[in-house]
Structure 1
Amino acid sequence: MSELLDHERCYRAVAGRDARFDGWFVTAVRTTGIYCRPSCPARTPLVRNVSFFSTAAAAQGAGYRACRRCRPDAVPGSPEWDVRADVVARAMRLIADGEIERSGVPGLASRLGYSERQLHRLLVGELGVGALALARARRAQTARVLLETTGLPVTDIAFAAGFASVRQFNDTVREVFATTPTELRRARRGTPAGQPGWLTLRLAARAPYAADEVLLFLGAHAVPGLEEWDGTTFSRVLDLPHGPAVVRLSPSADGAAAVTAQLRLTELRDLGAAVTRCRRMLDLDADPAAVDDVLGADAALAPLVAAAPGRRVPASPDAAELAVRAVLGQQVSVAGARTLTARLLAAGTPLAEPVGSLTHAFPGPAALAGADLGAVGLTGTRRRTVTALAATLDRGDIALDPGADREEAGRALLAVPGIGPWTAALVALRGMGDPDVWLPGDLALRRSLASLGSSDAEAATRWRPWRSYAVMHLWALAAPSLFTRTPALPRSA
């Protein structure tokens, strides 16, 4: 972060109101006591009066409050935490997923394999604040969104945001936003229309972002009973810590780089985890400028990047689910994989009542490890692989959660009989959100590479550190029906 937070570089971004840097850092103004996003439309402060922080939590820890004009927490998260694989990034992914609310700082540290003191030292050394302050900032952000966009009672919002008490909630809102929850609600810009029992939220992305393309890709792989696609809205069941939820995702009605999410939760306290998993599934926090700069500089990919700027990597909200689905999809068509996966759903948690065609959450590792897979239609070898994978996940011998070590997870997956490099790579790409994955031996990629005059062996090291995004461009070239935008043919074609 030291290069990113170079004072001169950050100030140039602020002076130019450059929205590309929103989420990367915040600007704290000593003369006003507030912190803003880099693109804040307010008058640019004098250079001698500003400081820069990598997180809102650090700015809050230094005594600054959030700007109520630019709302610096209503921006995509920093893409750095998805790119990096070190312990600080892993901790940030787990905190965003609500790990502290579920198991506290001791649980977070244990999950990462560090003592609380070691973890605190690492976080403070890089970010200026510890895990509790980072979680507190996340709660404040969730609370503001709920106050400004829903009609929920304030007491419900306090606990939905993860606060332990209404008093703690009130104190935090006053400190972070310099106002009361009631005043924040009074100043809201209007509550999106929604059905009773559903929460409607706006999930921001960095432009360019083609929500229709991402949702179509997810819809093309939709599993009956778990997922649904109507041509505009992608719906699915999420398996959250306190019960299954249903989310409906559709492009923002105003055409902005955003997605509208409607959520129906078993318990409101799962809201933060639901939003984080939806953001991961839709790849909303990616930095498209950085990706396109690298891939667009390659002569072979340049036409594809120009035809689909900002292309994303649609992912799974649960890497363990993706791992099982990857095994089921080995050497079968997309339609065949959907059929096999649908047959597993009976082992999953059913919804209290169906929502459209949605009936079940995907079964967890414990349920699958003990399930009778004889009626699914798998070969004996494939059944043994699914059972072994589920049992290994259930024992904790393979960790695929947001805080997992990606390299260690890959090695552990390859140790499961029946899982090879392609399957392990697909889990890293669409399950764990690794931006730099190549799929060895993928037939669709080979066809695209042949049309570009390249080979699989060459591509395995080409296009670093954004090979996952190169994979999406090459898949789109091979199977344009899975994407809303038809990629341009290479110049040599």
Structure 2
Amino acid sequence: METDWLDLPFTGPFDLAASARFIEGFTPSQSFVDQEGRLRLAFPASPSWEPVAALVRQAAPNGPVQVRLNAAPEDVPAVLSHVQRILSLDVDGSGFADLASHDPVIREVQALAPGLRPVLFHSPYEAACWSIISQRVRTTQAAALKNQIARRVGTKVAVPAGRNELPGIQLDTFPAPRRLLSLDRIPLLPEVKSTRLRATAEAALAGDLDAAKLRAMPADEALRHLATLPGIGPFSAQLILLRGAGHPDVFATAEPRLHQAITAAYGLRRPSVNDLAQVADGWRPYRTWVSVLFRAQGDLARL
């Protein structure tokens, strides 16, 4: 059932256009932007894991953000929380710009895309599934596999249209946990990855991949918890917590590309991970947000 336009509250600067341009370069994402700059999303939403869709709009940077949903009435509150988290609107961003006042490196990176916040996976569940699918294959190949799995065994859902428009288009959602568990084998994947995806689905249904639960834990405890899942190592655990659950203030110790970007930006000579972590301490309470900007700065420079 489609809703009317609903408000998505947020605090601090936010520019949907910057996020929409960035999400188009976020390889695992199945979301896309229409000609009016509105963002279209489709995904299975916990706790019901029913397929839902959203159309997000913002008339001007820092202006009101609104969303129309295609979701069952009982799922609307949970889906709104999903969309807020996907766009990092559930985090108080009022102090993010202040980091630039005492760090010229951060000022330069932030200037590439004012108002941009991290764009996340639709859920920690999808982040975990992506981590497994993408292991030992090129990112573009993994994205193609994820999309093909969605088309073959996922669910199509209609994205709401704006007022006085034709009906919205349909998008494929990644298969929900119960759908994966109903399959004898996940298509296109080797047996080991198929087995690990099924274990991920079981963990999601058990609540072990709940975003609020993961963010409520101390970060180290959450990472240890995630690393107990089959096929999830330190890099994947950090990806799930930071880009799936949306924890805003963790320094990723297992991301060499991030470390290289920080080393170059600050002109460091052979820093250790501890040295880089000390640099990142100056970004609190937005270490994840700054890290995402560093990881994406090459793409941001081309936006």
Alignment TM class, shorter chain as reference: 0.7 to 0.9
2:201 corresponds to which residue? Answer: 390
Q: What do residues 446-479 of structure 1 show as CA deviations (whole Å, max 9, x unaligned)?
A: 3412322244612234233321011122022233
Per the TM alignment, residue 198 of structure 1 is displaced from its structure 2 partner at its CA by 4.7
Mapped to 1, the partners of 2:183 and 2:226 lie a distance apart of 20
2:291 corresponds to which residue? Answer: 471
Per the TM alignment, residue 281 of structure 1 is displaced from its structure 2 partner at its CA by 1.1
Asked if 1:261 is matched to 2:67, the reply is yes
- Judge conservation of contact 1:296–1:305 (CA < 8 Å) in 2: no
Q: 2:244 aligns with which of 418, 425, 431?
A: 431
Matched letter for residue 92 of structure 2: D
State, as a whole percentage, how many aligned pairs show the same letter: 24
- Return 5+ residue gaps in structure 2 as ranges: 160-166
Where do residues 66-85 of structure 1 align in structure 2 (5 Å cutoff)? Answer: none
Mapped to 2, the partners of 1:306 and 1:221 lie a distance apart of 20
Q: What do residues 174-195 of structure 1 show as CA deviations (whole Å, max 9, x unaligned)?
A: xxxxxxxxxxxxxxxxxxxxxx
Distance 1:238 1:389, change over 3 A: closer
- TM-score with structure 2 length normalisation? 0.78
Q: What do residues 68-95 of structure 1 show as CA deviations (whole Å, max 9, x unaligned)?
A: xxxxxxxxxxxxxxxxxxxxxxxxxxxx
Asked if 1:412 is matched to 2:225, the reply is yes
Q: 2:56 aligns with which of 230, 240, 249?
A: 249
Distance 1:301 1:256, change over 3 A: closer
Per the TM alignment, residue 426 of structure 1 is displaced from its structure 2 partner at its CA by 0.9
Mapped to 2, the partners of 1:423 and 1:285 lie a distance apart of 23
- Judge conservation of contact 2:248–2:286 (CA < 8 Å) in 1: yes
Mapped to 1, the partners of 2:112 and 2:49 lie a distance apart of 42
RMSD after superposition: 3.2
Secondary structure of 1:205 counterpart: coil
Secondary structure of 2:246 counterpart: coil
Per the TM alignment, residue 429 of structure 1 is displaced from its structure 2 partner at its CA by 0.8
Asked if 1:348 is matched to 2:187, the reply is no
- Judge conservation of contact 1:222–1:338 (CA < 8 Å) in 2: yes
Q: What do residues 257-314 of structure 1 show as CA deviations (whole Å, max 9, x unaligned)?
A: 333322222x223222222211111112333332332465234323223444443121
Where do residues 428-467 of structure 1 align in structure 2 (5 Å cutoff)? Answer: 428-452=241-265, 453-454=267-268, 455=271, 457=273, 458-461=275-278, 462=280, 463-467=283-287
Per the TM alignment, residue 247 of structure 1 is displaced from its structure 2 partner at its CA by 0.7
Per the TM alignment, residue 339 of structure 1 is displaced from its structure 2 partner at its CA by 1.0
Asked if 1:314 is matched to 2:105, the reply is no
Mapped to 1, the partners of 2:10 and 2:86 lie a distance apart of 12
Secondary structure of 2:224 counterpart: helix
Q: 2:103 aligns with which of 298, 307, 320?
A: 298
Secondary structure of 1:288 counterpart: coil
- Return 5+ residue gaps in structure 1 as ranges: 1-195, 485-493
Mapped to 2, the partners of 1:364 and 1:456 lie a distance apart of 40
Mapped to 2, the partners of 1:473 and 1:433 lie a distance apart of 14
- Judge conservation of contact 2:15–2:60 (CA < 8 Å) in 1: no
Structure index of larger Rg: 1
Secondary structure of 1:367 counterpart: helix
Asked if 1:227 is matched to 2:53, the reply is no
- Judge conservation of contact 1:295–1:470 (CA < 8 Å) in 2: no
Matched letter for residue 460 of structure 1: A
2:93 corresponds to which residue? Answer: 288
How many residue pairs are counted as aligned between the two chains?
A: 282
Secondary structure of 1:358 counterpart: strand
Matched letter for residue 475 of structure 1: R
Per the TM alignment, residue 228 of structure 1 is displaced from its structure 2 partner at its CA by 3.4
2:22 corresponds to which residue? Answer: 217
Mapped to 1, the partners of 2:272 and 2:181 lie a distance apart of 35
Q: What do residues 377-429 of structure 1 show as CA deviations (whole Å, max 9, x unaligned)?
A: x4554344323333333445x24242344444421221234211111111111
- TM-score with structure 1 length normalisation? 0.50
